[in-house]
């Protein structure tokens, strides 16, 4: 391993910050963020299955090995526990590892390293050994892949003390959230929605996401640590993350045709959750529906619903509704459309909340 790290000199590409607006896919936005992280931090290392020569199965790391050398962007054996174990050792040696687990379901063999080492090392060492690891995990469904190539593990990761969890919903969020996550002294599980890799959108390089103090204190999101209102509304709040944000925006557009004004809140950070933004949105609309791909039982939507109920109990006009996947293993590609919350299921959830009458 030491031979690999010494094979090439760190890049000294100290480019000027980007400005303006560019139309990029999420894959391109993530690639650009990683490029800039490598240029700005000589201790940053990218590695995983096929991350080097191939550029990743989704091409998120495309071109980075050629630019920064095999000492900083490199392939690993097909062994997730080894990949994450190596990340722990590199972090202890002063590097900032950015490993990739090729598909979300492949993270299961590395749960011991994630839960018992990455999440606990800083606590166990009383701060002597921080774990500045940014673990990229292509996540969720929507690409009709076989078993273990589409999973929703956010509740598992969010339950573990010591981990932070983020999930972008569009290219703009992907760029800013990944750049922010890759500067943290704490381990961040960065869940990238696979079905959104090729969707294009505007990336604003001079936005508040890049310039605001990252204190999470401003509901609605100028900071990269908070939730963000993606569409303003009056009658109900849809809370989502990852790929489901785009679907909720579609639903809000359809509901508007019937005079129903839906607010869409992109949670962005699944741990810690921006409770202030949740409260601000739901106090305004007085109704909420949480949408996610993971199974219903013990899904992250339950935690979100509890936070809303605790802070908005006096103003809620109906119980918080959840529209989710089902309590079955994530299905193979030919059944995804039946499993993932679709527009009709979300609209029915909205209808149940709007028509709720007490007693």
Catalytic residues: 149
- Determine the Cα–Cα distance for residues 121 and 333; give it in Å rounded to an integer: 38
CA distance 265 to 228: 6
Strands (E), 101-257: 134-139, 164-166, 188-193, 200-204, 228-231, 236-240
Instruction: Give CA–CA dist 110/120, Å, rounded.
Output: 14
N-term to C-term CA, the chain = 67
Residue 242: DSSP 8-state? T
Beta bridge partners of 239: 265, 290
Q: How far apart are CA 211 and CA 204, in angstroms?
A: 11
Cα 127 from Cα 116, distance rounded (Å): 16
Strand duo 44-48 + 164-166: pairing = unpaired
> What are the residue ranges of helices labelled H in 70-158?
80-92, 111-112, 121-124, 154-158
CB-based burial, 148-176: b 16+ in 10 Å, e otherwise: ebbbbbbbbbbebebbbbbbbbbbbbbbb
- Cα distances (angstroms) measured from residue 236 to each of 148, 330, 352: 35, 29, 12
The residue among 5, 17, 74, 85 whose CA lies nearest residue 42 is 5
Check the CA dihedral 246-250-252-253 and report its sign. positive
């Amino acid at each position: 391993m030491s031979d690999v790290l010494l094979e090439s000199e760190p890049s000294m590409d100290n480019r000027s910050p980007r400005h303006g607006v560019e139309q990029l896919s999420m894959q391109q936005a993530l690639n650009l963020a990683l490029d800039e992280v490598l240029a700005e931090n000589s201790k940053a290392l990218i590695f995983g299955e096929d991350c080097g020569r191939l550029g990743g199965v989704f091409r998120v790391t495309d071109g980075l090995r050629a630019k920064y050398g095999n000492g900083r962007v490199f392939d690993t054996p097909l062994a997730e526990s080894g990949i994450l174990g190596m990340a722990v050792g590199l972090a202890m040696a002063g590097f900032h590892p950015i490993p990739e687990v090729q598909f979300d379901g492949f993270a299961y063999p590395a749960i011991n390293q994630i839960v018992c080492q990455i999440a606990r090392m800083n606590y166990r060492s009383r701060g002597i050994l921080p774990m500045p690891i940014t673990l990229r995990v292509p996540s969720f469904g929507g690409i009709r892949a076989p078993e273990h190539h589409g999973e929703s593990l956010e509740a598992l990761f969010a339950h573990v003390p010591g981990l932070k969890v983020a999930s972008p919903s569009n290219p703009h969020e992907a760029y800013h959230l990944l750049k922010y996550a890759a500067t943290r002294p704490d381990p961040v599980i960065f869940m990238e929605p696979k079905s959104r890799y090729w969707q294009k959108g505007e990336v604003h390089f001079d936005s508040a996401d890049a310039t605001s103090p990252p204190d999470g204190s401003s509901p609605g999101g100028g900071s990269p640590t908070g939730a963000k209102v993606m569409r303003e509304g009056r009658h109900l709040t849809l809370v989502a993350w990852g790929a489901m944000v785009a679907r909720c925006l579609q639903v809000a557009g359809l509901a508007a045709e019937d005079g129903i004004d839906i607010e869409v809140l992109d949670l962005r950070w699944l741990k810690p959750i921006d409770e202030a933004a949740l409260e601000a949105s739901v106090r305004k609309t007085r109704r909420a529906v949480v949408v996610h791909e993971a199974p219903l039982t013990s899904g992250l939507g339950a935690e979100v619903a509890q936070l809303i109920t605790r802070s908005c109990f006096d103003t809620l006009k109906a119980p918080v509704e959840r529209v989710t996947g089902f309590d079955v293993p994530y299905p193979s590609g030919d059944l995804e459309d039946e499993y993932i919350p679709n527009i009709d299921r979300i609209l029915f959830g909205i209808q149940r909340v709007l028509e709720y009458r007490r007693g």
